[in-house]
């Protein structure tokens, strides 16, 4: 671990990352169809959309798509102020 990141800050960043991931999983699960065996099926239109987004550089996203990414990053900003300069 870089010496300019405290263990406490690392844990707070890891918790923020887990919350980001959990938020995404809740969203995905809400859009998927639950099968009788408990598995999920993602609708084809969402698969197509997400595959397009995965292949699209940030600079080429629509303004709404970039804003969505900015909103996610804003969750981390308060924690980044705790990182010391190397």
Domain spans in the chain, listed from the N-terminal domain onward? 7-80
Residue 86 vs residue 17, higher pLDDT: 17
What are the E-state strand segments in the chain? Answer: 33-34, 40-41
25 neighbors 17 (Cβ within 8 angstroms): no
The whole-model pTM stands at 0.76
pLDDT tens per residue, range 14-70: 999 999 999 999 999 999 999 999 999 999 999 999 999 999 999 999 999 999 999
Residue 28 contacts residue 42 (beta carbons within 8 Å): yes
pLDDT for 48 equals 97
pLDDT of residue 85: 67
- In the prediction, which pLDDT does 82 show? 76
Q: Which residue has the higher pLDDT, 77 or 38?
A: 38
């Amino acid at each position: 671990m870089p010496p300019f990141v405290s263990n406490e800050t690392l844990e707070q960043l890891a918790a923020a990352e887990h919350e980001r991931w959990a938020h995404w999983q809740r969203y995905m699960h809400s859009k998927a169809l639950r099968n009788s065996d408990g598995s999920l099926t993602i609708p084809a239109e969402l698969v197509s959309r997400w595959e397009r987004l995965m292949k699209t550089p940030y600079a080429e996203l629509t303004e709404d798509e970039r804003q969505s990414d900015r909103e996610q990053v804003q969750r981390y900003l308060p924690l980044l102020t705790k990182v010391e300069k190397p």
